[in-house]
Each structure stands twice: as structure tokens, then as C-alpha cells.
Amino acid sequence: MFNRIIASNFKSIEKLDIDLKEINVVIGANASGKSNFVDIFEFLKLVVKNGLEEAVVKFGGMKNLINYNSSSRSFSIELSITPLEEEGNHPFFKRMLPNNYLIIHVNYKFVLTYRKGKIPDFRIDSEELVYRIQSQENEGDLRIKRDNKNLLSIHFPKLIKLREKQETEDINKFFGEFFRVAKPHKLLIEGSGAIDILPLIDDFKRIGVYDIYPKYAKENTKIGRESKLKKDGSNMADTILRIRESYDDRMLLQTKIRNLLPFIKSLSVKAGEENDIRFYVKENYFGRKEMPSQLISYGSINIFALIIALYFENNKITVIEEPERNLHPLLILSICELFKEVSKFNQIIITTHNIEMIKNLADFNILIVRREEDGNSIIKSEKDIKEIKEFLKNDLGIEDLFFQNFPGI
């Protein structure tokens, strides 16, 4: 689980240091910086999927990633991860190191600097990946560091005692290959060769970010182009086709949909012209007739997308922008229950303006985004804001802030 995120000079966020929980609800006024917070996870996802250079290009270049108010030409992102118990005993260390161990914490940080007029228009100033390792007797940090000359080094904690000369030579040989894999414009979390098996790099590969546009989700898609649900949901037909290949997944999808939309019997996918596919819905109202995706309501499309994103994308962290869009108020409680159910294995971050959603998730981590007079975004937990602490002493809920015109919400 990602349990802490620190960032500086990223878009409108000058400084950020917050804890993350199983469910995190991000609230704030329009243009306060909620989407810029989400973009941290989108950027990490793109780095792992497409590489750092392409991720920077997707955001319009380094100059669009750096805080406009800052005199610095750099931005940094740092994440802390607490592994699940079964993840702590990773085969990488099990094979390479002679001692029994357990990974109890991981910390990852990188700093990028803008290079005007250069290609690419950034350099990696520093990068560090730290594994806190615990043995039966002690604990210590295994550090993998990159400096601004792209030289990598590894520092073993004292608790790791190599018993044989051959073990030392094997590890040096392994990390010699590791060093050669590192590229000047490539981060460790991208994975390649030896780096790809480093413990918990997989966490970064399993970030899902969604901002669903039902209009796009209704459209036909090319078969087999990309079966994981896209950020905007535009390949929903292909995603449903992939889910339907497994009987268990097909039944789970049908059950979850019917729990929220009882009038829907089933989903199917059919081929059209030129390898196009479209999904269809069979409803109780029309017997055996199937309704094409173009005739399905935006609300139903949004429900389909939420269920797919939460249950079928194999994410470790799922970030959803405004999941309440196009939904009837009575469905909000059911959506919140889905978040609570999946948060046992899938960390949730949502942005929302919906009072009922905030009310139903108020016991979790509420993050408030405010825009300062200088244009910088401030993101804090409601527990860390003095004025809100005083407000909540009066037995009012966090959702009541909307009605009290609290600054920035």
C-alpha cells in the first residue's frame, strides 16, 4: 500500500506531504488542484507503461510539469510503500542473499530538472530506491542510488553478512549487469532486465487512473488493441470482451452490475465491420432484444466502468475522478460500499464534489485541496487543518463544510 506521498514543484503543487490510507477522498473547489494531484499517479503510470521520455511528452514537456510560480527548474516525487505480508519475503532477496529477511518498508524518490532547448528536455538529477529489511536480530536499509552523472551504487545494510567469497562475487556480477541496464533518461521503476525483478517495482505497474467519459465508452473499438480499460473508458467493448473470456469473471461482472442495476440481464460483445466491436445490453424490459451501447444511458455506462476498474484491472491503487458523474443519488451509497469492499486489496483515491459520497466515506482519509492567492495548491488532511478541527468540534460532519462556504471547498 502507498502510505505516504511527498512532492515539490509538480504543476500547481509547490509542496506536498500527506499520508494515504485504504480509501482517500479528495475534495476542493473547481480549479483548486485536485486533478494535478491525480496527475502525480497518472505520470507514474505513464512512466512505467511507456517510459519516462514519453510520459514527459504526454504532459506537454517538462515546462508543463514544473510549478509556474517556482524559481526552481526541478520537481520531485517521493513515495513510501508498506508491502503486504506475503510480499515482504521476495524471491529476489531470497535467491541472492544468505540471511532470512523480510521487507517491511520501501521508499522511492526521484528528481527531474528542466533542460531548455535540449532533447529530451529533462535530466534525472537523482534517484533512490530504499528497502527497509528486517532479519530475526535487526533491521537496516538496502539503498540503490543514482547521482546526477547517472552512476548507480548499491549499499547493503550491515545485517546482511555474506558468508562465502563466491556469494560476494555472484552479487557483484549480478549488480554489474544491473548497473549496465540503467539508462540516462530511464527511471528504475520502468524496469528492464535485472531491474525488472526488484521487489515491489510491480506496485508502480499496477496503478490505474480513470476519468470516464461515457460518450467515448459507447463508441466502437478495434478488437484486441488494448484490453485494459483506458483512462477515459473508450475501449470498454474490448475490455468487456476480455472479461467474458473467463466464465467466473463473466458471472462476477454480471452479478456486480445487477446488484446496482437490477434491470440489466447481461452484457455481450459483437463484431461489426473492419474488426470493430461494440457491446450490447439485454434488459428485463425488452425480452431477448439487445440494446447497442449507443442507446445505453450515461449513468449505466459509468457504473460498468467503475465495476470494471475496481474488480477486473488487477490494480493495487485505483484513482478515479468524480465517480458520481451521471449517477442517481440513491446509487451513491452502493458505490461507496464497493469502495469499502475492494479497499481490502485495492487502495482507492477518488476526487468528488458529491456531498453524499463525502458523508458516506467521512470515516476514511479526507484530503482537502485549496488554492492560495499565489496560485499554489495546498493539500492537507482535514485532521491537519486548524479551522476544520474547530468546525468538527461542534458535532458537524465534514460534508457540512459545503453548506458553510468553507474557504476553498
Asked whether the beta carbons of 221 and 279 are under 8 A apart, the reply is no
Residue 142: predicted pLDDT: 84
**3-state per-residue secondary structure call for 136-193:** CCCEEEEEEEECCCCCEEEECCCCCCCCCHHHHHHHHHHHHHHHHHCCCCCCHHHCCH
Among the ranges given (133-142, 337-346, 392-401), the one the predictor scored with the smallest mean pLDDT: 392-401
**Mean per-residue pLDDT over the chain, rounded:** 85
54 against 133, higher pLDDT = 54
* Residue 360 zone, left/alpha/beta (φ > 0; ψ -120 to 50; rest): alpha
Residue 148: predicted pLDDT: 81
What is the C-alpha separation between 120 and 102, in angstroms, rounded? 39
Residue 223: predicted pLDDT: 78
Average pLDDT over residues 302-319: 96
- The three cell numbers of residue 228 are 485494459
Rounded to 10°, the helix 247-260/298-311 angle is: 130
Q: Which residue has the cell 535487526?
A: 138
Angle (CA) 131-133-134 rounded to 5° is 160
What is the C-alpha separation between 359 and 66, in angstroms, rounded? 34
Residue 176: predicted pLDDT: 55
Reply yes or no: is the peptide bond before residue 98 cis, omega within 30 of 0: no
Angle (CA) 28-36-317 rounded to 5° is 95
Residue 36: predicted pLDDT: 97
> CB under 8 Å to 375, separation ≥6 — which residues?
12, 68, 69
Average pLDDT over residues 297-310: 97
Backbone φ, ψ for residue 3 (5° rounding): -110, -5
Residue 203: predicted pLDDT: 80
Sign of CA dihedral 69, 74, 77, 78: negative
- C-beta atoms surrounding 28 within 10 Å: 22
Query: 3-class DSSP state for residue 404?
Result: coil
Q: What is the tens place of the pLDDT at every residue in 39-71? A: 999 999 999 889 999 999 999 999 999 998 888
